Amino acid sequence: MRCPYCDHDETQVVETRESDEGGVIRRRRRCLKCDKRFTTYERVEITLPAVVKKDGTRAEFEPAKLRASMQLALRKRQVSVEQVDAALERIQKKLLASGLRELPSTRIGELVMRELKRIDKVAYVRFASVYRSFEDVDEFRQLIQDI
């Protein structure tokens, strides 16, 4: 770590503390050249995979968009915010665990459908009817029978 005062590249860690419930590490450092002290913070940087859309374009994964589409399917349903948050957390953990740098939007849609099926069947059918863009009534009927 470079000293912000004299730009010397050798510093010594004097004190280390965890803060923010273990999410951040705070380090007090001392420059070995000018003897000045400064503080650094370490945080985990989580990078979710990029989303490859059906048309081939790539976009950054946006949890807010995912939440909005789930809430649209869950509108006027008796599902708590905690259930939605837990579902979103499970989806994001699966995305991180995949280890992929890019992920097709269809995979994310399938994860959303799996979570909605788990928490509310009506929301699942709503989401699936838009997501799968059924061509005829028989496909839609088959989805409902599968539930």
List, for residues 100-118, the tens digit of each pLDDT value.
999 999 899 999 999 999 9
Q: Is 22 left (phi over 0), alpha (psi -120 to 50) or beta?
A: left
Q: Is the pLDDT of residue 139 over 80?
A: no
**For the chain, percent helix, then strand, then coil, each to nearest 5?**
45, 20, 35
Domain residue spans of the chain: 11-43, 50-146
7: confidence class by pLDDT, cuts 50, 70, 90 = very high
Mean pLDDT across the chain = 88
Burial class (CB in 10 A: 0-12, 13-18, 19+), 122: middle
- Residue 137, pLDDT score: 66
In the predicted model, what is the mean pLDDT of residues 82-94?
93
Q: Tokens 């590249």 correspond to what residue?
A: 9
Is residue 2 predicted with pLDDT exceeding 70? yes
pLDDT of residue 133: 65
Q: What radius of gyration, in Å, describes the C-alpha atoms of the chain?
A: 23
Place of tokens 């010594």: 12
Q: What is the pLDDT of residue 45?
A: 77
pLDDT of residue 129: 76
DSSP code of residue 54: T
Give me the pLDDT at residue 43, please.
Answer: 85
